[in-house]
Amino acid sequence: MRYVLLFLAVVATSGSAYFVRESALHPVMLASYRMLIAAIFLTPVFLKQLRKHPEVSVQKLFIAVGPPAVLLGVELSIWNFAARNTSMANASLVVNLMPLAMPIVLWVIYKERINQREVFATVVAMIGLGLLLGGDFAVSPDFLLGDFTALLTMLFLTVYLVLARRFSKLPSIWLYVVPMYFFGGVVVGIAGLFVADDFVPSGVSEWWPVLGLALLPTVIGHSTLNWCMQRIRGQIVALVNLMHPLFAGVIGFFAFDESPTGLFYVAAVLLVAAAGIVVFGPKTDMTVEPKQADVYHDGYVPPPDDDDEVIDLREHAHRPDEVAVKGSDVE
């Protein structure tokens, strides 16, 4: 079931480049509106969870989500620029090459090691990236700036998702993502006041892409990705996410009449193969449990076991490829 949700997250985030290119709003302000609207939309469920769990300190929570919130805001701002300066397929392909950075980030932050199979899958993904950039240089050198910007976005995205592990013991995913969206939206919005020329979407033609970005890739896509990141090995999340450009390429073909180059198809095959190597290969245990963020009132000690989770997946299969998180349904 967790892989089904991960697949849903990949599908939901695939259309983000389409909405970005349909909007003429400044990239930074677009990121701010996207996060703020998502936070407002989810506020009722956030308040419900706060009432249900009064032990959670709102002040500590907003302080703790600061780093991932800022990373997400910066990532979305850069992504908006990249999506407008390369093809949808290329932007989605490069920005989702998290396996290039995930092993390093996991080791630096949590001292989590990847296995030999994951190393091999990452090498396969790197070959795909090389083919993609080579195809752009041969066919459309103008895409190179967008491709390298998307690569920078991938680094921010990886660190942001890895930090979600620090909130895996929260009783609800909404207690994490809602304040994070709000915090990031405010910070990026303030930055936008200094760099943007247009601050408010004008007319229905400008509002509907903003709403689409907030509801589909953010509320559904990013929220589910964070939930999966807390419960599935990080490298598996990164490699499965490589199916993202396949859906984006289909959208780009029908919406913008973009035909990917032959090298793109070869790169896509390699990236999907990299995901398959990890998902369908022998599983390995995840032994590192990250230090949790301090988000509770002083004196409160979280119970060792708590089955109260918004997304309720009561599977007790003890799958070794899933993170053993105390307070979740997998021990």
Does residue 83 belong to any structural domain of this protein? yes
Does residue 179 belong to any structural domain of this protein? yes
pLDDT in tens, 168-209: 999 999 999 999 999 999 999 999 999 888 888 888 888 999
| Number of domains into which the chain is organized | 1
Does residue 320 belong to any structural domain of this protein? no
Domain range enclosing 171: 2-279
Does residue 258 belong to any structural domain of this protein? yes
101, pLDDT greater than 50: yes
Amino acid letter for position 83: A
Does residue 53 belong to any structural domain of this protein? yes
Torsion angle, alpha carbons of 147, 152, 154, 160, to 10 = -160
Does residue 93 belong to any structural domain of this protein? yes
- The residues, any chain, with a CB within 8 Å of residue 317's CB and separated by 6 or more, are 330
143-162 vs 66-83: helix crossing angle, rounded to 10 = 160
pLDDT in tens, 228-275: 999 888 888 888 887 766 666 666 666 666 666 667 778 778 877 877
Does residue 273 belong to any structural domain of this protein? yes
Paired tokens of 318: 């003890």
Calpha distance 267→129 (Å, rounded):
7
Residue with tokens 């998502």: 38
Does residue 289 belong to any structural domain of this protein? no
Q: Which of 189, 266, 221 is nearest to 27 (CA)?
A: 189
Amino acid letter for position 179: P
